[in-house]
Amino acid sequence: MTDQKPYQHQIQSEPVLRIGIILPIDRRKEITVSFTNPSQYKIDSKSPINLTSSKLKFSVDDGGVKIIKTNAKFDGYGITVHNVPAGRGFHWEKNIDVTLSGNVHIIPNKSGLLLINEVPLEKYLASVAVSEMSGTCPTSFLEAQTIAARSWIMAAAENKHSELGIDACNDDCCQRYQGMNQMTSESKAVCNSTSGKVLLYDNEICDARYSKSCGGLTENAENIWDMDFKPYLTSIYDSPEKKIQVDWQHWFRAAPDVFCSPSYVDESELHKYLGNVDKNSKYFRWSIKYSQKELCELLSKKINVDIGRIVKIDALNRGYSGRINHLYCEYINLAGETKVLELNNEYDIRKTLHPSFLYSSCFMIKMNDELIEFYGAGWGHGVGLCQIGALGMALDGYSTEQILIHFYSGAKLKQLY
């Protein structure tokens, strides 16, 4: 789909996506692939490779390799790629085996191999729906999640890896796609029932972003990323009233009955719905505590400067949801000089103030001589659909369309194909 210059709303048939499964940044010189049924595939490569074994190793020396499905009717489990990175750069990073349907291309790149899976959009979405959350979620949630994921990839507004000629990668950086192993009968049914449906705003497919939990108020896109204001990605109060509460501090302390709060989704039940994404934690309201020494060590490592003491941490600017997008930190280095560190976006703030990643940049700061505490709300950037809030709505009986319209103000559903 990358070459077609995509995705206008006039599109009338299901596109085929190119998803990066192993990326050059993974620096792989070798990739092991196994086949459920080798007789259904052929290999195109410079030097001939016979598909006699069910397990093959490809290396940079093979040049480019294309593994092509020869029987269009064969809908089995296909090709398993071993040791695929999942959660790159996060503390839950691990290597998993990913089973793919469709064709696979292995392309040598300067720093390592690139493995691309060509997969029809609906098959991709059936995997994304349950890789993002678990298949035990109510149908209206899974449908809303699938329509949002379909819209996001078809809008192709982010296009984070265009230089690699792929539509998205397999990971949290784009949408979590863990292949056919993840698909369930529920997720396939959801793709069938919503097949070809997208969100439109002003005749354009919505760049329908989503995150785990807004914490009570969703965020405006332009407060998180360097992008223009989008009417359907603006802050809403994640409650039946939907009105914007201007005073986020009041709302934060009151922790009212919003859809992503424990009044709609019992935190002890969350694990069942979040599946393997869950970290067994509280996400609606959380706190983290550092001693002076701990935070000095952490920041020293993150910014590569020796910090002796942190004098002050302050939010210089927040979005509507309370997410900090400009943070000020004054510290004294080992030479005794006072220095200032400013972080200018929510991603850097979350990356810098935690050994792996802070749940969100929506937090209050309490500091004394010895302790620095962050009291936070939500998980993720908070823009667009709040997944735990959407789950709360689904559990409360809201329909797929009601959920989508709640989070994407002014958007409309449209059947493309």
List interacting residues with Zn ion (CB under 5 A). 160, 169, 173-174, 214, 238, 260, 386, 389
Written as six digits, the tokens of 173 are: 């950086």
Paired sense of beta strands 113-120 and 103-108, if any = antiparallel
Report the nearest approach of Zn ion to the CB of residue 340 (Å): 32
Residue 312: count other Cβ atoms within 10 Å of its Cβ: 11
Closer CB to Zn ion, residue 163 or residue 369? 163
Closer CB to Zn ion, residue 260 or residue 270? 260
Task: Check: CB of residue 223 under 8 Å from CB of residue 320.
Answer: yes
Closer CB to Zn ion, residue 122 or residue 238? 238
Written as six digits, the tokens of 256 are: 């009212």
The span from the CA of 354 to the CA of 320, in Å, is 23
Report the nearest approach of Zn ion to the CB of residue 131 (Å): 13
Written as six digits, the tokens of 110 are: 């300067």
Report the nearest approach of Zn ion to the CB of residue 169 (Å): 3
The span from the CA of 323 to the CA of 243, in Å, is 18
Report the nearest approach of Zn ion to the CB of residue 293 (Å): 35
Report the nearest approach of Zn ion to the CB of residue 50 (Å): 34
Helix ranges (DSSP H) in 255-291: 270-274
Residue 195: DSSP 8-state: T
Per-residue b/e over 150-182, b at no fewer than 16 CB within 10 Å? Answer: bbbbbbbbbeebeebebbbbbbbbbbbbbbbeb
Task: Check: CB of residue 342 under 8 Å from CB of residue 316.
Answer: yes
CA distances to 65, 248, 291, 300, 349 from 303, rounded to whole Å, are 40, 30, 18, 6, 12
Report the nearest approach of Zn ion to the CB of residue 213 (Å): 5
CA distances to 127, 141, 253, 273 from 153, rounded to whole Å, are 14, 18, 36, 23
Residue 267: count other Cβ atoms within 10 Å of its Cβ: 15
Report the nearest approach of Zn ion to the CB of residue 318 (Å): 17
Residues in the chain: 417
Helix ranges (DSSP H) in 304-384: 346-352
Task: Check: CB of residue 274 under 8 Å from CB of residue 133.
Answer: yes
Written as six digits, the tokens of 218 are: 């969703």
Closer CB to Zn ion, residue 116 or residue 416? 116
Closer CB to Zn ion, residue 55 or residue 160? 160
Report the nearest approach of Zn ion to the CB of residue 168 (Å): 6
With tokens 């609606």, the residue in question is 284
Closer CB to Zn ion, residue 138 or residue 389? 389
Closer CB to Zn ion, residue 214 or residue 403? 214
Closer CB to Zn ion, residue 113 or residue 169? 169
- Name the nearest CA neighbour of 95 among 105, 81, 85: 85
Residue 186: count other Cβ atoms within 10 Å of its Cβ: 18
Report the first-to-last Cα separation within the chain, whole angstroms: 16
Closer CB to Zn ion, residue 257 or residue 294? 257
Residue 328: count other Cβ atoms within 10 Å of its Cβ: 15
- Name the nearest CA neighbour of 68 among 101, 103, 100, 37: 103
Report the nearest approach of Zn ion to the CB of residue 88 (Å): 9
Closer CB to Zn ion, residue 120 or residue 262? 262
Closer CB to Zn ion, residue 214 or residue 416? 214
Report the nearest approach of Zn ion to the CB of residue 238 (Å): 4
Report the nearest approach of Zn ion to the CB of residue 172 (Å): 8
